[in-house]
Amino acid sequence: MKLKSILCCLPIILGLSACSEPVKEQVQQQPPALKEQPQVATVNQYSAEQFFQTTTVFGSSINHDGSAVLVSSDASGVFNAYRYPLDGSSPSQLSHSTTDTVYGVSWFPKDDRFLYSADQGGNELNHLYVQGLNGKVTDLTPGEELRASFMGWLDDDSFYVMSNERDPKAMDVYRYSSTDYSRQMVFQNDKLFSVDGQSKDGRWLALVKEVNSSNSNIYLADLHSKDKSVKLISAHQGDISFGVYGFNPASTTLYYRTDEFGEFDQAWSYDLNTEDKALYFKDNWDVSFVYFSKDGKYSIVGVNDDAQTKLHITEGATSTKLAMPSLAAGDLRGVNFSADSSKMVFYINSDTSPSNLFTYTLGNESAAQLTNTLTSTMQESDLVASEVIRFKSFDGLEVPSLLYKPKVANANNKVSALVFVHGGPGGQSRKGYRALIQHLVNHGYAIFSVNNRGSSGYGKTFFHLDDKNHGENDLQDIVYGKKYLQTLDWVNADKIGVIGGSYGGYMTMAAMTYTDEFAVGINIFGVTNWLRTLKSIPPWWEAYKKSLYDEMGDPETDEARLIRISPLFHAENIKKPVLVVQGANDPRVLQIESDEMVAAIKANNVPVEYVLFSDEGHGFRKKVNRIKASNSYLEFLQKYL
């Protein structure tokens, strides 16, 4: 049901509605500020249930005959796989899970079998499944306590899968038959590389090895050689970061990223035959990804342009930009082409519109919209677009941020506000639809998403400013974000809280523990004991552990500092109300972290509320749980802020 929220305007000055002419003259003689008072906007206010009636969709695998796209959707309340016909006819639900989330991965190359991934209650122990034409489901990676993921298709329609079943720390590579699903190990990952891509001819694997948090190398494994030899292709001096985008469909070239030549990642190519390297694409921002249409005709390059993805779709033969029809405002995402590149699918997403799926036949005048994910009980005009803001922190550093101003806010209707901290460490708050944020803004809370030092997307120097400095200078960025909010005449300077998830949850608890700046805190599965977290990281993170320890600290040698920055050990300092939200199956931030934090705050006789989901992990996937979480945020804020 649509609810109308009309905030009262200012009282009519001097009883103007019943005044005589002399009084009118007197009012006209008042200063201009009293003549034209800002009016409070009228906006429709929506419930959490309405916000999460909105459907989340993603996935863009087009099937063998170009007739349908494989989509993951939470329309049923739990993510399942759906078939969306490209002719615009009604979609059909392909999987019917009511408990565990199902994420569609890919159609098979020559029929409508499809692969999907699912874990158990959010524990991140994903298995890979195939659903046959008759609906029969086969677990391709059976076993306990293992984690598996799809890598990609090969030219002969076989496919590669990574699994840590042999060794929980090592992601080995297996080649599967697409007919009988038999398999053989093709790469035993004894040196714990990160396996980041394979060529379609089955010969090459692209491997990455972290040296430290700012230094890494790329290796190539030749699976056609007798000993499956591995060679370094990124020899360099000093701290330079390398990573892999992928191979071209012809299996002649590897595309990789490097920050060797400046602050931002550039895209480079490596010729597998000649070993020549060449610059492929650069910008004044990080190149986030490079990939190709199935036939190699088109390249798709994504650039992280000031917290917003900008796509460059180019025809390789002519180096010309693909002409696109007029589209709705927003970012293009999930671009994919049919096998012959005659059709494409993509999503458009913006702050005020969740992702919608479109299809476009090249050469046509317009694209066709296949989904309408915003619930019909809501109007996009009631939602709020963010504004990119930069403010100066305590040391003069410019901190980029996204500001969401409620439509009802002005100097005569000051609103409460929240500083929002992203996950990570090293994450980034980006433009795009988030029901959690829009729900709070719609109910009159300003949101200031601060990309504190250490966030990605703003150059390698900015990214490493928080190394072994977490809970210190990065926390001051959050505090100075609050101080910036206090300069805005439409924000209630005394009613500013802090909220965040994962690393952002840690920053929330750090703000409540080490400062007295914030009126309330909302900690969503945040780290509170770095010693425990760094000792209990999942085994499949082993390839990244050295880099993580370089950034955060080694619990064996850096214990004193980690205790100093862990809120749990200093909980007696917490004096303001806190809400803690946690998933019981979280393998990254264990439930005991939140249990102990809540108990410690209670011992202070400080208001603390705790919401625990028995069937969730690190992030909430079921609609019913996301609704409950969103309602808990709002109820807590209405009670204490």
- What is the residue whose two structure tokens read 């009282």? 11
Burial of 412 (0-12, 13-18, 19+ CB in 10 A): middle
Residue pLDDT, tens place only, 580-609:
999 999 999 999 999 999 999 999 999 999
* Alpha carbon distance 432, 557 (integer Å): 40
- 486, β-bridge pairs: none
Beta carbons of 106 and 153 less than 8 angstroms apart: yes
Beta carbons of 251 and 200 less than 8 angstroms apart: yes
Residue 244 identity: V
* Alpha carbon distance 470, 552 (integer Å): 7
* Alpha carbon distance 74, 373 (integer Å): 10
* Alpha carbon distance 234, 641 (integer Å): 53
* Alpha carbon distance 34, 13 (integer Å): 8
Which tokens is 304 given?
């992280």
Which tokens is 163 given?
């699994």
In this model, does residue 9 exceed pLDDT 90? no
Q: How many CA atoms lie within 13 A of 506 on its CB side?
A: 25
Helix axes 435-442, 623-640, angle to 10 degrees: 30
- What is the residue whose two structure tokens read 């992203």? 422
Which tokens is 627 given?
């609704």
- What is the residue whose two structure tokens read 């920050």? 259
Residue pLDDT, tens place only, 286-306:
999 999 999 999 999 999 999
Residue pLDDT, tens place only, 426-441:
999 999 999 999 999 9
Length of the chain: 641
Max CA separation in the chain (angstroms) = 101
Residue pLDDT, tens place only, 328-345:
889 999 999 999 999 999
Per cent of the chain over pLDDT 90 is 89
Q: DSSP strand E in 405-528: where? A: 415-421, 446-450, 491-501, 521-524
Beta carbons of 175 and 186 less than 8 angstroms apart: yes
Q: DSSP strand E in 241-371: where? A: 242-247, 253-258, 266-271, 277-281, 286-292, 298-304, 309-315, 320-321, 331-337, 343-350, 353-361, 368-369
* Alpha carbon distance 306, 469 (integer Å): 24
| Predicted pLDDT at 28 | 33
Beta carbons of 529 and 593 less than 8 angstroms apart: yes
Return the exposure string of 182-193: e unless at least 16 CB atoms fall within 10 Å of the residue's CB, then b.
ebeebbebeebb
Phi and psi for 609 in degrees, rounded to 5? -120, 150
| Predicted pLDDT at 458 | 98
Mean per-residue pLDDT for 221-233?
95
- What is the residue whose two structure tokens read 């944020």? 437
Beta carbons of 350 and 431 less than 8 angstroms apart: yes
Mean per-residue pLDDT for 255-279?
98
Res. 124 pLDDT band, cuts 50 70 90:
very high
Res. 102 pLDDT band, cuts 50 70 90:
very high
Mean per-residue pLDDT for 363-368?
94
34 Cβ neighbours under 8 A, 6+ residues apart:
13, 27
* Alpha carbon distance 629, 641 (integer Å): 17
In this model, does residue 10 exceed pLDDT 90? no
- 57, β-bridge pairs: 73
* Alpha carbon distance 5, 485 (integer Å): 24
DSSP 121-166: TT----EEEEE-TTS-EEESS-SSS--EEEEEE-TTS-EEEEEEEE
Q: 266 — alpha (psi -120 to 50), left (phi > 0) or beta?
A: beta
Beta carbons of 574 and 601 less than 8 angstroms apart: yes
* Alpha carbon distance 637, 627 (integer Å): 16
* Alpha carbon distance 478, 474 (integer Å): 7
626 Cβ neighbours under 8 A, 6+ residues apart:
52, 435, 436, 620
| Predicted pLDDT at 49 | 96
Cis bond upstream, residue 425 (ω within 30): yes
* Alpha carbon distance 440, 436 (integer Å): 7
> Which segment of 311-315, 326-330, 449-453 scores lowest on mean pLDDT?
326-330
Res. 37 pLDDT band, cuts 50 70 90:
low
Res. 41 pLDDT band, cuts 50 70 90:
confident
Res. 39 pLDDT band, cuts 50 70 90:
low
Q: DSSP strand E in 540-607: where? A: 578-583
Mean per-residue pLDDT for 561-584?
97
Coil, strand or helix at 622: coil
Residue 124: count other Cβ atoms within 10 Å of its Cβ: 17
In this model, does residue 21 exceed pLDDT 50? no
Measured between its terminal Cα atoms, the distance across the chain in Å is 26
| Predicted pLDDT at 26 | 29
Which tokens is 93 given?
């639900």
| Predicted pLDDT at 544 | 87
Q: pTM for this structure? A: 0.91
Res. 24 pLDDT band, cuts 50 70 90:
very low
Which tokens is 262 given?
């400046």
Residue 365: count other Cβ atoms within 10 Å of its Cβ: 7
Burial of 531 (0-12, 13-18, 19+ CB in 10 A): middle
Evaluate whether the domain defined by 380-640 bears CATH number 3.40.50.1820: yes
C-alpha gyration radius of the chain: 26
Mean per-residue pLDDT for 460-472?
95
496 Cβ neighbours under 8 A, 6+ residues apart:
416, 417, 418, 419, 482, 485, 486, 517, 518, 519
Per cent of the chain over pLDDT 70 is 94
> Which segment of 5-19, 89-103, 169-183, 210-224 scores lowest on mean pLDDT?
5-19
